[in-house]
Every structure is written in C-alpha cells, then in structure tokens.
C-alpha cells in the first residue's frame, strides 16, 4: 500500500481537508497511525501535532481481501 502524506507534524483540526478529500471519493484516511472513515464533519484535536496520510489508490485495502481469503465463492 502506498500512502501519500497530507500533513506531517502540524497542529490543526483539518475539517476542511477531510471534507475535500471525502468529496474526491476517498473513504478512509490514516491519522496518527489509525485508519479512520472519512465521515462528514470529521476533525481531529486542534492543539495536538498530527500526521495525516491517504492511500493513493482511493481507499485502504481490506486485510482479508488482500490475502486472498475474502472471495471463497464456490462455483464461480
């Protein structure tokens, strides 16, 4: 998975950045090492330093699907 840094070691709530990223079609973002859903109104603590990254492929892959265990349909 390739991650593109949006914010590195900066303070702020980044509500506008999250809204803009969500409108571009992205569904998840990694904030301070934790993957979050991009929901309307999402913001982080304004006075803490943050690292925010997004996946350049649009969303983070599902761990089950990336190992090949997610599609076990029989007969297809």
- Spatial separation of the C-alpha atoms in residues 53 and 1, rounded to whole Å: 12
Q: Is residue 34 part of a domain?
A: yes
Query: What is the per-residue pLDDT across 51-63, written as a single tens digit (0 to 9) for each?
Result: 999 876 655 555 5
Report whether 56 contacts 48 (CB < 8 A).
no
Q: In terms of DSSP bridges, do strands 28-31 and 34-37 run parallel, antiparallel, or are they unpaired?
A: antiparallel
36 is in which domain, residue-wise? 3-56
Q: Is residue 76 part of a domain?
A: no
- Note the pTM of the prediction, 2 decimals: 0.68
Total domain count, the chain:
1
Q: Is residue 32 part of a domain?
A: yes
Query: What is the per-residue pLDDT across 20-70, written as a single tens digit (0 to 9) for each?
Result: 988 988 888 999 999 998 899 999 999 999 999 987 665 555 554 444 555
What CATH number is given to the structural domain containing 8?
3.30.190.20
């Amino acid at each position: 998975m390739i991650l593109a840094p949006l914010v590195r070691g900066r303070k702020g709530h980044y509500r506008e950045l999250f809204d803009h990223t969500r409108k571009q079609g992205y569904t998840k973002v990694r904030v301070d090492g934790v993957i979050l859903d991009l929901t309307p109104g999402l913001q982080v603590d304004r006075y803490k330093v943050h690292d925010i990254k997004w996946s350049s492929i649009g969303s983070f892959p599902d761990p089950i699907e990336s190992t090949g265990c997610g599609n076990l349909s029989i007969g297809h």
